[in-house]
């Protein structure tokens, strides 16, 4: 399922590991199917409804149309369950997918680190339509910077594809 040894972090230039996880409605979502529609901004975050994660999710929400116009889909992943994701998306009117990685298999496959060994890390990957990681940004405490960084790279990919 995954191309690297367990524990190796995925970096720029690597092929993004494919996966299938349920979204906030329980529908299975596969990365390769998302990539068939264009660039994917895949962001891992610690927990629904925490202050930093809510700020990040709402920042992606507020920029959602800009990402879409640039040919990118936004997808969030945490270990929260499907029902918690559904409530979170409803409460904050999130127009994009949140995927449930309950056993943290995908988080581990991407090598997303834990902060201080305790808190699930916050890392954003920009994956081009060919499945190659073009950018990653890791910052537990600068949640809104994830959106800015990702949007800049998405726009570059859009320019290249013209």
Residue 130 has pLDDT above 80, yes or no: yes
| CATH superfamily to which 20-160 belongs | Glutaredoxin (3.40.30.10)
- What are the residue ranges spanned by the domains of the chain? 20-160
Share of the chain above pLDDT 70, in %: 93
58 is an active site residue:
no
pTM metric for this prediction: 0.90
**Residue 36: which pLDDT band, with cuts at 50, 70 and 90?**
very high
Give how far Cα 107 sits from Cα of 56, 67, 70, 121, 125, Å: 18, 23, 26, 9, 12
**Catalytic-labelled residue, pool 16, 41, 53, 143:** 53
Helix axis angle for 82-92 and 51-62, nearest 10°, is 60
Helix extents (H) in 63-142: 64-69, 82-92, 105-110
Query: What is the reported pLDDT for 147?
Result: 86
pLDDT (average), residues 36-45: 96
Q: What is the pLDDT of residues 44-96, one digit of tens each?
A: 999 998 988 999 999 999 999 999 999 999 999 999 999 999 999 999 999 99
């Amino acid at each position: 399922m995954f191309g690297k040894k367990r524990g190796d972090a995925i970096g720029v230039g690597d092929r993004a590991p494919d996966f299938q996880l349920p979204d906030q409605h329980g529908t299975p979502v596969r990365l390769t199917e998302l990539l068939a529609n264009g660039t994917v901004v895949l962001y891992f975050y610690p927990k629904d409804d925490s202050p930093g994660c809510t700020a990040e999710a709402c920042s992606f929400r507020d920029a959602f149309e800009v990402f879409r116009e640039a040919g990118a889909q936004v997808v969030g992943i945490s270990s929260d369950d499907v029902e918690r994701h559904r409530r979170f998306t409803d409460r904050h009117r999130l127009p994009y997918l949140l995927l449930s990685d309950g056993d943290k298999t995908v988080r581990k496959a991407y090598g997303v680190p834990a902060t201080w060994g305790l808190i699930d890390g916050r890392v954003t990957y920009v994956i081009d339509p060919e499945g190659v990681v073009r950018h990653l940004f890791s910052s537990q405490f600068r949640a809104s910077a994830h959106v800015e960084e990702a949007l800049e790279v998405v726009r570059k990919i859009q320019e290249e594809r013209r």
